[in-house]
Amino acid sequence: MTKPKVLISDKMDPNAALIFEERGCDVDVKPGMTPEELKAVIGQYDGLAIRSATKVTAEILDAATNLKVIGRAGIGVDNVDIPYASSKGVVVMNTPFGNSITTAEHAIAMMFALARQIPEANAQTQQGLWPKNGFMGVEVTGKTLGLIGAGNIGSIVASRALGLKMKVVAYDPFLTAERAVEMGVEKVDLETLLTRADFITLHTPLTEETRNILSRERLEKTKKGVRIINCARGGLVDEAALKDMLDSGHVAGAALDVFAVEPAKDSPLFGTPNFICTPHLGASTTEAQVNVALQVAEQISDFLVSGGVTNALNMPSLSAEEAPKLKPYMALAEKLGSLVGQLAHGDLPKISIEVEGAAARLNQKPITGAVMAGLMKRFSSSVNMVNAPFLAKERGMEVREVRNENEGVYHTLVRVTVATSQGDRSVAGTLFGNTAPRLVEIFGIGIEADLDGHMLYIVNEDAPGFIGRIGGLLGEAGINIGTFHLGRRSAGGEAVLLLSVDQAIPADVIARAEQLQGVKVVKALAF
């Protein structure tokens, strides 16, 4: 078996390369390549490990004909064209936890620097001025810290602030009341936070919803004398408005580690009293750089070797421990999706994916992804779990997940239902021995069959002599039958035949089958 091949294109801790090698990957370390050099070699690699220097553009992705995964050692993925990578079926991962403590500590350090005006005091002291009476700081004890964003980093900042005997209020649309109690913070709306906080720290990604979340209008609503810290992403704060607020004294101090434009060579904030800044150092500790490098190596190798998906930004997560259990379910799900995709006619505006029994106790997202990958093959042969949801969204498909932990006839079941112009149509399958995918129902008719290779699907009237007629037709055409599976609604009613054959069935044979007595539908299938 050929080893997966990985390229490390940015400077990274050397132990990352060792992890790739230990886990069965071939690895090349080539930092500092130009875009042209990267484009020339990227087609050789299954995985790409980067930091912030490498820009993974659409042009690079077009050249990456074998690429399966991109791993960013760090949180921000501004240097990766994620939508285009998704359309190409490339998984994009980051390492959001490797530098969490480092970034949170930097925010706390900036808060102390603001509270005690340390940078300005240091500068004047080193000039020999000894400005003992020129700086009057404030204590953080007893003050209210406002968290905008209470996720991983925000929760660490909250923990440190509570240890400093601060009160913490938090605004985060995804923060539940239970999680707020667990963190020891008060969940508030943004307007309340602005009016109550003595210090405000930001810990959100930059999205259309969060861009300029501290706009001029909102900065005007803040408590007079507030101090603002941003170690998250540039663009969360209106920098021109912040400058005006500092000049007026409404904002007592501001500390930025990030800017809307980086590198920040020129900013209206530079030189403003009570403003301090650092050059995006939030993740810059020895420990963090080692952590994210090792983490990205582990994540990429897990994906390439065992199918584990961790911290992916464009597909469901699937741990290396879950992967072996879910692998047969995903194989079943993809076959069911493919079957529906091949048999359904016209648009499929709604898709429902139901897991029952043992399947309902597993992570459903990868099962859903596999169904969509199989289903969307009706539109493109180069579909996988990454780009299938992307293609479905483009076509306006609505995907619904249903979980039923009660066992039915089978100990585990996956059912796929699609809305068609003729009404809902569903197929269902199970696992025999927890490993072997098996179809057990098609459009309401019970039938047990393996979905594999070339197959023929026929709907016909249940009448004597039909099996002989279809067998004779295939025999005359020199087509060997592998397996034969029958199901029917009732004696003499509608019947379904699924048979596997050793080769693709020519169109003229399909046409002749359609002319057989009692035949309603004939369809060649391939899995």
Cis peptide bond N-terminal to 263, omega within 30: yes
Element (H or E) spanning 199, and its range? strand 199-202
Catalytic one among 23, 218, 227, 280?
280
DSSP E strands, 237-315: 251-256, 275-277
262 in active site? yes
- Which among 72, 227, 233, 425 is annotated as catalytic? 233
Helix 364-375 vs helix 322-343: crossing angle, to nearest 10: 30
Cβ contact 303:314 at 8 Å: no
385, 392 Cβ separation under 8 angstroms: no
Handedness of CA 135, 141, 147, 151 (dihedral sign): positive
59 has catalytic annotation: no
> Which of 220, 262, 398, 407 is an active site residue?
262
Active site residue 280: yes
* Contact call for residues 142 and 165 (beta carbons, < 8 A): yes
> Please, are residues 92 and 243 in contact by the beta-carbon 8 Å criterion?
no
CA 196 from centroid of its chain's CA atoms: 35
Residue keyed to tokens 């004398």: 225
Q: Cα separation of 527 and 525, whole Å?
A: 7
d(CA 344, CA 420): 7
Alpha-carbon gap, residue 137 to 488, rounded angstroms: 83
Residues acting as catalytic residues: 233, 262, 280
